Amino acid sequence: MLRDLRVRALMDSPTSFGDTHEQAIARPDSFWQERAARNALGRQDTCYVAVTGDRWLGMLSGYYPGPEREVATLVGLWVDPAARGMNLGARLFDALGDWAREQGSDRMQLWVTAINDAAIALYRRIGFVEVDERRPLASDPSLDTILFVRKL
């Protein structure tokens, strides 16, 4: 299910993620099983999924790139177009914020593609602040990403 959700996200919003649809579908089932198992432990990384009935409608992941826990890095927010406007994105951020606090973090950070106006508006609405730092999007270096940070 995690793989299917990620593939749906990449098909819908290809310029919003650091990997591509082609990369996601090329990964073996073992990759997705290992990722889901790591996420379920919630130590170094985790993924929260918005579910209604048996339909997965959105996701947001968080991780720590190293042993330090001050800043949780959030990646991969996506909400199914049919479920947008239902506040799922903000609720996923609340869940990840709780996880990050439990891990000892005092803030969260994320990178957003500079052309993703809807995501930028959401991040600002829920308390993220733009930091004067940019880098190219890994999946399409012609696009810039912007760093946003939110205190917990």
CATH of the domain at 49: 3.40.630.30
The total domain count for the chain is 1
Residue 64 in this model has a pLDDT that exceeds 90: yes
Residue 66 in this model has a pLDDT that exceeds 90: no
Q: Cα(104)–Cα(81) distance, rounded to whole angstroms?
A: 33
Closest CA to 105 of 53, 62, 58: 62
Residue 2 in this model has a pLDDT that exceeds 90: no
| pLDDT tens-digit series, residues 83-139 | 999 999 999 999 999 999 999 999 999 999 999 999 999 999 999 999 999 999 999
Contact 152, 62 (CB under 8 A): no
Contact 145, 113 (CB under 8 A): yes
Q: Read off the amino acid at residue 61.
A: S
| pLDDT tens-digit series, residues 9-58 | 999 999 898 888 899 999 999 999 999 999 999 999 999 999 989 899 99
- Structural domain for 62, as ranges: 2-151
What's the per-residue H, E or C state across 16-66?
Answer: HCCCCHHHHHHCCHHHHHHHHHHHHHCCCEEEEEEEECCEEEEEEEEECCC
